[in-house]
C-alpha cells in the first residue's frame, strides 16, 4: 500500500510556511522572555515575599541562569540536530522546554522555581536559534539566507520591543495571571505551527519539484547531485536524502521505503590526515575557519554594542533628564526600530555580498557611538541629540546582523564543498548556528556588564568612545575574512549559490 500524502502537504512544506514557523518561534521565545521583565520585580516582592534589598540580586541571578542555559544548550541542540534524520524532534523538544518554563514562571511558589523556569527558557532559546536557523538553510539555501534572516530579525525585534510594554500594561490592568494568559495564547500559536510544519530537508514522492521519484530508477535535481540515474531492482518508491547529498556531494544515499538496509555509496579514498581530521567533532573543525570566526566576532560585537545600551540607557536618562520608566522604555524604539529594514538589508547582502555591507555598518556606527559623549544635561536640545544618535547607531548596526547570520551558513557550505567528507552526511549547519548562539549569549552578558562598569567608573563619555572603538575594530576582521580572505577571492560556484 502506498504512503498517504499528508494533509495540506503543499502548504505545510512550502518555503513561506517554514520561514513563518521559524520567525514565529523566534518571536515567541523573545516575547516570553521580555514580557515578564517589568513584572519580575513586583512578582518577587509581592508574590514571593523576597526582601526589597534582595530583589535586584535575584533578577541578576535569573538573567545569568538564562544566559548560562543558552550557552550550554546551544552546542547540545546543534549536535543532536545534525545527528538526527529530522530537525523536527529537537525543535519540538525546545517547545516543550518553553511550555514548562512558562508554567513554572506562572505558578511557581518560590524563587527557585522561577530560576528553574528561566533556565528552561534559555534551553528553549537554544533550540530556536540553532535548529530553527538550520531549518532555514535547508529550506531557502545559502543564496537567500541574508534576506530570510531579515524577516526573522523583524519578528525578534517585534517581540523585543512590544513585550515589555505589553507586559507592564497587562500587569497594571489585569494582574500577574493576565500577563501569562496572553503568554499561553502566544505559545498555543507556536505549538500549532511547529506541529504542522513539514521539513524540506529530504525529497519525498509528494514533492512537485526538486526530485522526481520513479519506480526502479532515481532522478534528482539536487544542486550537488552529479551522478547518473542509479538502477535498482526494488520496484518500490524510493526517498532520496537531498540534504545529505547537498552537504556531501560525492555521496548519493538511496533509501528504499521501509527498507533502510539498501545503501549505495562509492568507496572512500581518504588520506590518513583526512581521516584524523574527520574524527574531530564538527564544531571543533568549524572553529578552525577564520571566515567563521570573523562572522562569530561580528555577531558578538554587534550584540554587545546593542546590549550595552540596555544596561545603561534607562538609568542615564533618569539621572540626566529625569525621565520616568515609560519614557526610558520608549527610547529603545529608536535603537531597535531600524531593524525592520533587515529584509531589505539582507537582500542587499545576498546580491552585493556580505563583506562590504557588514563592514560599512561597523565603520559608520563608529561616528554616532562616539558623538554620544556630547550628550550632557547642560547641552541645548540634548534629548533630541540623544534620540537622533541612538537611532543612527541602531540603523548602522542593522546592516551587520543579516549578512553575518548568512555568513555562518555560507562558511559551512564552502567547507563542505571544498572537502565533502569533512562533516559527513549529517552536515554541521545546526552546530554552526550553535556557535552563533553562543556568541550572541556571551555578548548579552559582556555588553551590559562592560558598559555599566565603564560608565560607573569612568563616566558616560568614556563609555561612548570605548563603544566607538569596538565598532571600528570589528570592521577589520569583517572586511578581511567575510566571504573568505579578501586577497584570495574565488568565483562563486553554482553549489555555493544553492
Q: What is the per-residue pLDDT for 335? A: 87
Q: What is the per-residue pLDDT for 294? A: 94
* The three grid cell numbers given for residue 6, joined into one nine-digit string: 499528508
Residues with Cβ within 8 Å of 59's Cβ and at least 6 positions away in sequence, in order, are: 40, 41, 44
Q: What is the per-residue pLDDT for 278? A: 58
Spatial distance between the Cα atoms of 226 and 332, rounded to a whole number of angstroms:
51
Q: Which of 469, 75, 125 is nearest to 304 (CA)?
A: 469
Helix or strand run (H / E) with residue 234: none
Q: What is the DSSP letter of 49?
A: -
Residues with Cβ within 8 Å of 12's Cβ and at least 6 positions away in sequence, in order, are: 6, 196, 197, 198
Spatial distance between the Cα atoms of 107 and 104, rounded to a whole number of angstroms:
5
The neighbour count for residue 19, using CB atoms within 10 Å, is 18
Q: What is the per-residue pLDDT for 497? A: 46
> Cell 541602531, residue?
394
pLDDT, block means (10 residues), the chain with 498 residues:
69 83 88 79 80 74 79 82 72 86 89 91 85 77 72 80 78 84 91 81 50 35 41 42 38 32 40 57 84 93 87 79 73 83 84 89 96 88 93 94 85 81 70 83 80 85 94 95 79 47
pTM above 0.85? no
Q: What is the per-residue pLDDT for 464? A: 94
Helix or strand run (H / E) with residue 34: helix 15-34
Spatial distance between the Cα atoms of 200 and 366, rounded to a whole number of angstroms:
41
Spatial distance between the Cα atoms of 59 and 64, rounded to a whole number of angstroms:
9
Phi-psi region of 4 (alpha: psi -120 to 50; beta: other; left: phi over 0): beta
DSSP 327-396: HHHHHHHHHHGGGGGHHHHHHHHHHH-HHHHHHHHHHHHHHHHHHGGG--TTSTTHHHHHHHHHHHHHHH
Q: Which of 304, 305, 353, 360 is nearest to 482 (CA)?
A: 353
Q: Bridge partners of 219? A: 212
According to DSSP, the β-strands at 238-240 and 218-220 are unpaired
Q: What is the per-residue pLDDT for 318? A: 78
Question: How far, in whole angstroms, is CA 152 from its chain's centroid?
Answer: 8
Would you state the torsion angle of the CA atoms of residues 45, 46, 49, 55, taken in this order, to the nearest 10 degrees?
Answer: -10
Amino acid at each position: 500500500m502506498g504512503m498517504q500524502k499528508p494533509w495540506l502537504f503543499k502548504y505545510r512544506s512550502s518555503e513561506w510556511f517554514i520561514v513563518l514557523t521559524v520567525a514565529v518561534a523566534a518571536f515567541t521565545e523573545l516575547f516570553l522572555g521580555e514580557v515578564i521583565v517589568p513584572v519580575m520585580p513586583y512578582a518577587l516582592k509581592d508574590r514571593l515575599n523576597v526582601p526589597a534589598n534582595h530583589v535586584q540580586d535575584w533578577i541578576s541571578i535569573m538573567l545569568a541562569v538564562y544566559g548560562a542555559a543558552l550557552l550550554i544548550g546551544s552546542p547540545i541542540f546543534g549536535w543532536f540536530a545534525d545527528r538526527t534524520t529530522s530537525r523536527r524532534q529537537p525543535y519540538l523538544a525546545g517547545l516543550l522546554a518553553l511550555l514548562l518554563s512558562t508554567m513554572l514562571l506562572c505558578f511557581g511558589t518560590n524563587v527557585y522555581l522561577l530560576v528553574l523556569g528561566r533556565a528552561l527558557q534559555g534551553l528553549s532559546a537554544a533550540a530556536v536559534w540553532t535548529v530553527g536557523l538550520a531549518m532555514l538553510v535547508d529550506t531557502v539555501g545559502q543564496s537567500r539566507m541574508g534576506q530570510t534572516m531579515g524577516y526573522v530579525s523583524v519578528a525578534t525585534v517585534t517581540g523585543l520591543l512590544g513585550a515589555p510594554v505589553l507586559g507592564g500594561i497587562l500587569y497594571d490592568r489585569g494582574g500577574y495571571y493576565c500577563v501569562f494568559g496572553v503568554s499561553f495564547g502566544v505559545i498555543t500559536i507556536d505549538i500549532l505551527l511547529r506541529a504542522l510544519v513539514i521539513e524540506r530537508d529530504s525529497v519525498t514522492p509528494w514533492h512537485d519539484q526538486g526530485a522526481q521519484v520513479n519506480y526502479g530508477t532515481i532522478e534528482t535535481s539536487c544542486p550537488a547531485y552529479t551522478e547518473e540515474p542509479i538502477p535498482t531492482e526494488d520496484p518500490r518508491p524510493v526517498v532520496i536524502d537531498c540534504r545529505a547529498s547537498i552537504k556531501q556531494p560525492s555521496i548519493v544515499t538511496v533509501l528504499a521505503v521501509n527498507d533502510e538496509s539498501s545503501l549505495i555509496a562509492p568507496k572512500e579514498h581518504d588520506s590518513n590526515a583526512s581521516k584524523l581530521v574527520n574524527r574531530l567533532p564538527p564544531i571543533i573543525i568549524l572553529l578552525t575557519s577564520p571566515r567563521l570566526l570573523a562572522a562569530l566576532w561580528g555577531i558578538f560585537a554587534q550584540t554587545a554594542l546593542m546590549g550595552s545600551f540596555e544596561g545603561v540607557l534607562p538609568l542615564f536618562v533618569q539621572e540626566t533628564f529625569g525621565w520616568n520608566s515609560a519614557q526610558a522604555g520608549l527610547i529603545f524604539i529608536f535603537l531597535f526600530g531600524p531593524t525592520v529594514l533587515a529584509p531589505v538589508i539582507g537582500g542587499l547582502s545576498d546580491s552585493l555580498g556580505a563583506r562590504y555591507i557588514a563592514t560599512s555598518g561597523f565603520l559608520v556606527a563608529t561616528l554616532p557611538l562616539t558623538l554620544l559623549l556630547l550628550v550632557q544635561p547642560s547641552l541645548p536640545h540634548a534629548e533630541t541629540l540623544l534620540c537622533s544618535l541612538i537611532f543612527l547607531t541602531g540603523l548602522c548596526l542593522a546592516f551587520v546582523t543579516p549578512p553575518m547570520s548568512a555568513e555562518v551558513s555560507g562558511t559551512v557550505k564552502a567547507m563542505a564543498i571544498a572537502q565533502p567528507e569533512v562533516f559527513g552526511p549529517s552536515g554541521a549547519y545546526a552546530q554552526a548556528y550553535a556557535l552563533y548562539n553562543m556568541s550572541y549569549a556571551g555578548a548579552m552578558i559582556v555588553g551590559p556588564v562592560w558598559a555599566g562598569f565603564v560608565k560607573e567608573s569612568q563616566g558616560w563619555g568614556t563609555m561612548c568612545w570605548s563603544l566607538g572603538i569596538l565598532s571600528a575594530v570589528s570592521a577589520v576582521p569583517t572586511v578581511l575574512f567575510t566571504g573568505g580572505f579578501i586577497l584570495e577571492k574565488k568565483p562563486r560556484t553554482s553549489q555555493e549559490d544553492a
